[in-house]
Structure 1
Amino acid sequence: MASKQMVHMNQGQGERSYARNSGIQNAQQKRMKLLIERTIIDLCSSSSSLLPDKMVIADLGCSSGPNALALVSVAVEAIHGYCLQLQQPPPELCVFLNDLPDNDFNTVVKSLVTIRRCNGPVVVTGIAPGSFYERLFTSSSVHLVCSSSSLHWLSKAPEVLTKNQIPAYYIDEHARREKLPMVLGAYAQQFRKDFRH
Structure 2
Amino acid sequence: MSVVSMLHMNEGIGEASYANNSLLQQKAITLTKPIREEAITCFYKERLPRTLSIADLGCSFGANTLFVIGELIEIVEKIRRDLNHESPEYTIFLNDLPSNDFNNIFKSLERFKQKLSSRVIGGIGQCYITGVPGSFYGRILPTNSVDFVHSSSSLHWISQVPEGVENNKGNIYNASTSPLDVQKAYCDQFQRDFSLFLKCRAQELVEGGRMVLTLVGRSCSDPSSHESNYSWELLAMALKDMVSEGIIKEDQIDSFNFPLYYPCPSELELEIEKEGSFTLNCLEAFEVNWKAACGEELNDNNSGFKVAQLIRAAMEPLLICHFGEAIMDDLFYRYQYILADRMAKEKTVFVFLTMSLTKTT
Residue type of the alignment partner of 1:78:
I
* Paired position in structure 1 for 2:17: 17
Q: How far 1:187 moved relative to its partner?
A: 3.0
**Structure 2: gaps of 5 or more residues:** 201-361
* Paired position in structure 1 for 2:154: 150
Distance of 1:79 and 1:54 partners within structure 2? 11
Q: Check 1:186–1:17 CA distance in 2 against 1; reply closer, same or farther (3 A cut).
A: closer
TM-score by length of 1: 0.83
* Paired position in structure 1 for 2:107: 110
SS in 1 for 2:52: strand
1:139 to 140, 143, 149: 143
SS in 1 for 2:195: helix
Distance of 1:148 and 1:10 partners within structure 2? 18
Question: Do residues 57 (structure 1) and 62 (structure 2) align?
Answer: no
Q: Check 1:193–1:135 CA distance in 2 against 1; reply closer, same or farther (3 A cut).
A: closer
SS in 2 for 1:79: helix
* Paired position in structure 2 for 1:90: 87
Question: Do residues 4 (structure 1) and 8 (structure 2) align?
Answer: no
Q: How far 1:194 moved relative to its partner?
A: 4.0
Distance of 1:5 and 1:76 partners within structure 2? 33
SS in 2 for 1:107: helix
SS in 2 for 1:145: strand
Residue type of the alignment partner of 1:42:
C
SS in 2 for 1:109: helix
TM-score by length of 2: 0.47
Distance of 1:115 and 1:58 partners within structure 2? 17
Q: Check 1:88–1:132 CA distance in 2 against 1; reply closer, same or farther (3 A cut).
A: same
Q: How far 1:54 moved relative to its partner?
A: 0.7
Q: Are 1:65 and 1:108, in contact at CA under 8 Å, matched by a contact in 2?
A: yes
CA offset digits 1:60-104 (Å, max 9, x no partner)? 111111111011111111111111121111211111111111111
Question: Do residues 70 (structure 1) and 74 (structure 2) align?
Answer: no
Point out the more displaced range, 149-158 or 25-34: 149-158
* Paired position in structure 2 for 1:29: 29
Distance of 2:49 and 2:193 partners within structure 1? 35
Q: How far 1:171 moved relative to its partner?
A: 2.5
Distance of 2:105 and 2:185 partners within structure 1? 40
Distance of 1:111 and 1:96 partners within structure 2? 15
* Paired position in structure 2 for 1:169: 174
**Structure 1: gaps of 5 or more residues:** none
Q: Are 2:58 and 2:95, in contact at CA under 8 Å, matched by a contact in 1?
A: yes
Q: How far 1:134 moved relative to its partner?
A: 2.7
Q: Check 1:134–1:188 CA distance in 2 against 1; reply closer, same or farther (3 A cut).
A: closer
Greater strand share, structure number: 2
CA offset digits 1:132-165 (Å, max 9, x no partner)? 123221110111111111111122355xxx3486
Q: How far 1:190 moved relative to its partner?
A: 3.8
Give the number of equivalent residue pairs.
Answer: 189
Q: Check 1:144–1:115 CA distance in 2 against 1; reply closer, same or farther (3 A cut).
A: farther
Q: What percentage of aligned pairs have identical amino acids?
A: 34
